[in-house]
Amino acid sequence: MFDPAAGQGQPGEGPLGAAGEWRNAALPETENRYPPGDLAIWVFILAELAVFGLFFASYAFTRMQHVALFNQYQLTLDRTSALINTVALLTSSYFVVRAVQAIKSNDTQLCQRWLWAAIAMAALFIAVKGHEFAHHFAAGINLSTNTFYMFYLSLTFFHFMHVVMGMVILTAIALKARKGGYSASEHTGVETGASYWHMVDMVWLILFPLVYVMR
């Protein structure tokens, strides 16, 4: 069954330990059949994943017809910015995990701090990606420049809007946490926002190599 103290780790516990201890430290056994958070957000997540999956497959199959063009213009993208953005989203996701752990131990203040840290990382993503977009637009690049840029701009902007929406959700949760709106016994809202945010991160983990690296 669920151990409410599992998220706190044990003092002196080795990070690796025996394989069984490692697995138990990772995720305790559960009989739960449902994911964390509100079911409505998971229906939304499924729909979003389907759309992004279709987008990714379309990119890959369209590339088949224009390999040279895709390879040529992929080199114009800033991979270092993409690296910074990937690390920013991973860090943000990790901070959200810590926020969920904090609220499950009834530490509202700590939960709130982790959430603001996650939002700061999301803001970094927005700033870096916004700079990239500004650079492209200043160079006269738009959706009709060529097929590669059509996919690149629409895919990354679509994801960009999801990051913005995720920031709004995390901010709403952080503000409610500040007012003491969540506790160890009632934290569905935190888990709901966390699930959405991890989806946004997960989609970027595929988008980054597909658009910026694979050739």
The angle, 0 to 180 degrees and rounded to 10, between the axes of the packed helices 79-104 and 147-178 is: 30
Asked if 191 interacts with another protein (CB under 8 A), we say yes
Q: Does 92 bind another protein (CB under 8 A)?
A: no
The least distance separating another protein from the CB of residue 214, rounded to whole angstroms, comes to: 4
State which of positions 103-122 bind another protein (CB under 8 A).
104
Which range binds another protein by CB under 8 A, 115-123, 140-148, 152-160, 173-181?
173-181
Please tell me whether residue 32 binds another protein under the rule CB under 8 A. yes
- 166 lines the binding site for another protein (CB under 8 A): no
Which of 47, 137, 142, 215 lies at the binding interface for another protein (CB under 8 A)?
Answer: 215
Q: Does 19 sit near another protein (CB under 8 A)?
A: no
Selection from 81, 51, 44, 47 nearest residue 211 by Cα = 81
Interface with another protein, residue 83, by CB under 8 A: yes
Decide: is 57 part of the binding site for another protein (CB under 8 A): yes
Give min distance, CB of 123 to another protein, in A.
19
Verify binding: residue 125, another protein, rule CB under 8 A: no
The single residue among 22, 134, 157, 165 that binds another protein, judged by CB under 8 A, is 22
d(CA 136, CA 21): 50
- The CA-atom distances, in angstroms, between 188 and each of 112, 122, 181, 182 are 15, 22, 11, 8
**Helix spans in the chain (H):** 19-26, 39-65, 67-74, 79-104, 108-138, 147-178, 188-207
- The answer to whether the CB of 92 falls within 8 A of the CB of 118 is yes
